[in-house]
Amino acid sequence: MPYNFDTLTDRTDTYSIKADAKGRGKPADALPLWVADMDFKAPPCVLDALEKEVRHGIFGYSDTGREYYETVSRWQRERFGFHTQESWLVKSPGVVVAIHIAVRGLTAPGDAVLIQTPVYHPFHSAVTLTGRKLITNELVNEEDSGRYTIDFADFEAKIAGNQVKLFILCNPHNPVGRVWTKEELTQMGEICLRYGVTVVSDEIHQDFIFEGHRHVVFAGLSKKFSDITITCTAPSKTFNLAGLMLSNIFVSDPALRDAFAREYERAGLSQLGVMGLVACKAAYEGGADWLAQLLTYLKGNMDLIDQWAAAHPDAVRFRRPEGTYLAWLDFRWLGLSTKELDDLVTNKAKVWLSAGTAFGAAGAGFMRLNAASPRSIIEEALRRMSAVI
């Protein structure tokens, strides 16, 4: 059946972080295109399953059995060729929670943890808030193409020189939109093996891959990579379920999994909410066609942004993402400070984006636009920015 992604849904007064401008010091009439949740309702199969659970009326302590695992594992196997075992699965309230737990459970205060900047800001805080040493391998922005690549010499030097214990990988990469290739992942993996580095692989955007690219699960490349990896997956980005607090973490090595699980226990985490479990199972069982149509719609939004940027070459540059629904806009050509750029876009254009500096110093001059909204919203945001740049 066809799904309509043009429908506008009012998110004010719904406890939405994304839409609550008043609580975050933003203009009340600014279009919220910042935090990475979508402005599309979840698929009907999910809504039906949740409504059935509500009608049941009892929301006690909940857990899952074999059927849930089979549904989740089938999604990973059929879409990405990632073969798992039931014992590998650790359910978590979210990927960010899992990253924090991994940092705490697998390293000690003062240990070095590597991230690749610019990157999703909780990667930074998961290291700094836990008393670990933050090490950055800055991605290389190839100015001619706007494509980001990995400085492998720096990657290895930073690991060797700082005795890095843990590497947090973002694949697909938020915010720059790279879908790392098999060759790139293999090269990073071999370096991590050489120096005894454990990998936490955040693959939450794995379902948002555009034509010409393919998502490769890092742990799925080989057993030796799987044995050093915590793989973080979730239906939350894919089906707009972030508020239901559910992610599926796969850890094949028993010792690594035990250390990870023990830290969960120390944090007091146990069963998850039944609604997240129900939604996840329903989404993976019945949401594939909805997702396929969504990807086509998102491509249309990216086409629009591409055309808009091409019409303003002296103000903004844009390279289409290989994955994610996030547009990484390069405004460095305007020559503005971070504060001036934010004032221009937020207060003058009345478009609420994520400041590039939230992803690290390498994001200065950039802003991230969440393109997962009805096209009329994206069109209005681009019109407003055109008027001020």
Rg (CA), the chain: 21
Domain limits at 129?
A: 58-285
Domain membership flag for residue 1: no
d(CA 201, CA 116): 12
Question: Residue 343 maps to which CATH number?
Answer: 3.90.1150.10
- Residue 15 in 3-state DSSP? coil
Residue whose entry in the numeric block shows the structure tokens 């250390």: 259
Domain boundary among 253, 285, 317: 285
Helices (H) and strands (E) in the chain, counts: 13, 15
Burial label, 191 (beta-carbon count in 10 A; 0-12, 13-18, 19+): middle
Q: What pLDDT does 22 receive?
A: 66
Token pair recorded at residue 126: 């998961």
Q: Indicate whether 130 and 240 sit together in one domain.
A: yes
* Percent of the residues in the chain that have a pLDDT greater than 70, as a whole number: 99
φ, ψ at 61 (rounded to 5°) = -55, 135
Domain membership flag for residue 9: no
Domain membership flag for residue 17: no
Q: What pLDDT does 145 receive?
A: 82
Q: Indicate whether 65 and 121 sit together in one domain.
A: yes
Q: What pLDDT does 270 receive?
A: 84
Q: Indicate whether 87 and 230 sit together in one domain.
A: yes
* Percent of the residues in the chain that have a pLDDT greater than 90, as a whole number: 95
Q: Indicate whether 119 and 202 sit together in one domain.
A: yes
At 188-228, the pLDDT tens digits run 999 999 999 999 999 999 999 999 999 999 999 999 999 99
Domain membership flag for residue 2: no
Q: Indicate whether 267 and 338 sit together in one domain.
A: no
Q: Indicate whether 35 and 164 sit together in one domain.
A: no
φ, ψ at 350 (rounded to 5°) = 60, 45
Q: Indicate whether 193 and 320 sit together in one domain.
A: no
Q: Indicate whether 251 and 304 sit together in one domain.
A: no
Q: Mean of the pLDDT values across residues 364-375? A: 98
Element (H, E) at 307: helix 288-310
Token pair recorded at residue 204: 């939450």
d(CA 202, CA 298): 22
Q: What pLDDT does 48 receive?
A: 98
Q: Indicate whether 238 and 364 sit together in one domain.
A: no
Domain boundary among 285, 308, 323: 285
At 173-191, the pLDDT tens digits run 999 999 999 999 999 999 9
Residue 70 or residue 22, greater confidence: 70
Q: Indicate whether 200 and 219 sit together in one domain.
A: yes
The torsion region of residue 63 among left (phi > 0), alpha (psi -120 to 50) and beta comes to beta
d(CA 271, CA 70): 19
Question: CA 180 from chain center: how many Å?
Answer: 14
135-149 as b/e, with b when 16 or more CB fall inside 10 Å? bbbbbebeeeeeebe
Domains held by the chain: number: 2
Domain membership flag for residue 384: yes
Q: Mean of the pLDDT values across residues 355-364? A: 97
Domain boundary among 232, 256, 285: 285
Q: Indicate whether 278 and 308 sit together in one domain.
A: no
For the chain, the 3-state helix, strand and coil shares in percent, each to the nearest 5, are 45, 15, 40
Q: What pLDDT does 269 receive?
A: 86
d(CA 170, CA 124): 12
Contact 218, 230 (CB under 8 A): no
Nearest to 247 by CA among 267, 225, 273: 273
Q: Indicate whether 180 and 35 sit together in one domain.
A: no
d(CA 107, CA 165): 7
Domain membership flag for residue 11: no
Nearest to 119 by CA among 355, 369, 359: 359
Q: State the chain's mean pLDDT as an integer.
A: 97
Contact 88, 82 (CB under 8 A): no
Domain membership flag for residue 144: yes
Element (H, E) at 375: helix 375-388
Question: Residue 124 maps to which CATH number?
Answer: 3.40.640.10
At 268-291, the pLDDT tens digits run 988 899 999 999 999 999 999 999
Burial label, 70 (beta-carbon count in 10 A; 0-12, 13-18, 19+): middle
d(CA 319, CA 329): 8
Domain membership flag for residue 324: yes
